[in-house]
C-alpha cells in the first residue's frame, strides 16, 4: 500500500522476537544450572512400581516408601520403573521426574534443613496411584 | 537479510537448539536451592507474561474505542472517502 509506513509493525515484531529470545535464554540458563549435578552428589536409585517406591543407597541399603538423607549433602536420583510409567515427585523440593520402564532418568537435589516431606507419584499409574506415596526424612548432618 | 534467507536462518537456529547442551559448562555444578531457582524463573516469566498481556489487551481496547464508528474523532479513511471500499 503506497504511503503506508510499516515501521510500527517492525518495532512490534522486534520487541516480540527480543522478548521471546530473552524468555528462551533465561529458561535455558536456569535449566542448565539446575541440571548441573555436583561431583560429590551421592547416588540413590529410585524404582517405582505399582504402587510403591524403593530407594537404594550407594552402600546397598534399601528402603521401601521411606527415603532418609542428610541435610547439606547433594543427592543424585537415578529413577526408573519396573512396570508402568510413574513420576517421582518431592513437592517441597520441586523434584519431579518420570520413572519410565527401561530408562534411567536423573535428577538431583540438596536438602538444606532437617524435616519431613511427602513423596508422591504424579503420573496416573493405576488403581492405587493416589496412595503411591513415600516419606522423605531429612536428618541433621552427622 | 533477503526474504529467502530469513526462513533458512530460523531453520538453522531451530536445528541448532538440540546442540546447545554440548556448549554448556562441563565442570561439576555447585550446590543450589532448586526451589529458589525454579520459582524465581517462574516469577520472572509471569512478570513478562502479565506485562505483555497488559500491553496487548490495552492496545486492543484502545483500538476498539478509538476507531469505533461512534467516536466523535472518527474520520473516514481516504479509501472510504473516495468510495473505493
Please report, for the domain that includes residue A86, its CATH number: 2.60.40.420
pLDDT at B1 exceeding the cut of 80: no
Per DSSP, the residues of A9-26 read HHHHHHHHHHHHHHHHHH
A111 and A85, same structural domain? yes
A104 and A56, same structural domain? yes
Domain that holds residue A2: 1-36
What pLDDT, on a 0 to 100 scale, did the predictor assign at position B2? 66
Beta-strand pair A62-64/A66-70: unpaired
pLDDT at A89 exceeding the cut of 90: yes
Nearest chain A Cα distance for residue B28, angstroms: 5
Averaged confidence pLDDT in chain A = 93
Nearest chain A Cα distance for residue B35, angstroms: 6
The answer to whether A33 contacts B41, with C-beta atoms less than 8 Å apart, is no
Cβ of A36 under 8 Å from any chain B Cβ? yes
The answer to whether B48 contacts A112, with C-beta atoms less than 8 Å apart, is no
Confidence of residue A53 (pLDDT cuts 50, 70, 90): very high
The answer to whether A37 contacts B28, with C-beta atoms less than 8 Å apart, is yes
What average pLDDT score do residues B30-46 get? 91
Predicted-complex ipTM score: 0.74
Averaged confidence pLDDT in chain B = 83
- State how far the Cα of A35 lies from the Cα of B29, in Å rounded to an integer: 8
A51 and A3, same structural domain? no
pLDDT at A98 exceeding the cut of 70: yes
Q: How many domains does chain A have?
A: 2
Of residues A116, A119, A115, the one with CA closest to residue A132:
A119
Q: What are phi and psi of B16, to 5 degrees?
A: -85, -15
Amino acid at each position: 500500500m503506497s504511503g503506508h509506513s510499516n515501521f510500527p509493525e517492525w518495532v512490534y515484531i522486534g520487541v516480540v522476537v527480543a522478548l521471546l529470545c530473552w524468555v528462551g535464554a533465561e529458561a535455558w540458563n536456569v535449566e542448565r544450572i539446575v541440571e548441573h549435578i555436583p561431583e560429590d552428589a551421592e547416588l540413590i536409585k529410585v524404582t517405582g512400581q505399582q504402587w510403591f517406591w524403593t530407594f537404594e543407597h550407594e552402600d546397598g541399603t534399601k528402603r521401601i516408601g521411606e527415603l532418609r538423607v542428610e541435610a547439606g549433602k547433594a543427592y543424585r536420583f537415578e529413577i526408573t520403573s519396573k512396570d508402568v510409567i510413574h513420576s517421582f515427585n518431592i513437592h517441597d523440593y520441586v523434584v519431579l521426574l518420570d520413572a519410565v520402564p527401561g530408562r534411567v532418568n536423573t535428577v538431583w537435589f540438596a536438602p538444606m534443613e532437617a524435616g519431613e516431606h511427602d513423596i508422591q507419584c504424579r503420573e496416573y499409574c493405576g488403581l492405587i496411584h493416589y496412595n503411591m506415596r513415600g516419606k522423605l526424612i531429612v536428618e541433621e548432618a552427622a | 537479510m533477503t526474504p529467502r534467507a530469513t526462513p533458512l536462518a530460523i531453520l538453522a537456529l531451530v536445528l541448532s537448539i538440540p546442540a546447545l547442551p554440548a556448549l554448556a559448562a562441563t565442570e561439576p555444578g555447585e550446590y543450589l536451592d532448586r526451589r529458589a531457582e525454579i520459582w524465581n524463573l517462574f516469577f520472572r516469566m509471569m512478570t513478562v507474561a502479565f506485562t505483555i498481556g497488559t500491553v496487548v489487551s490495552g492496545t486492543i481496547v484502545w483500538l476498539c474505542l478509538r476507531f469505533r464508528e461512534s467516536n466523535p474523532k472518527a474520520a473516514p479513511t481516504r479509501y472510504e472517502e473516495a468510495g473505493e471500499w
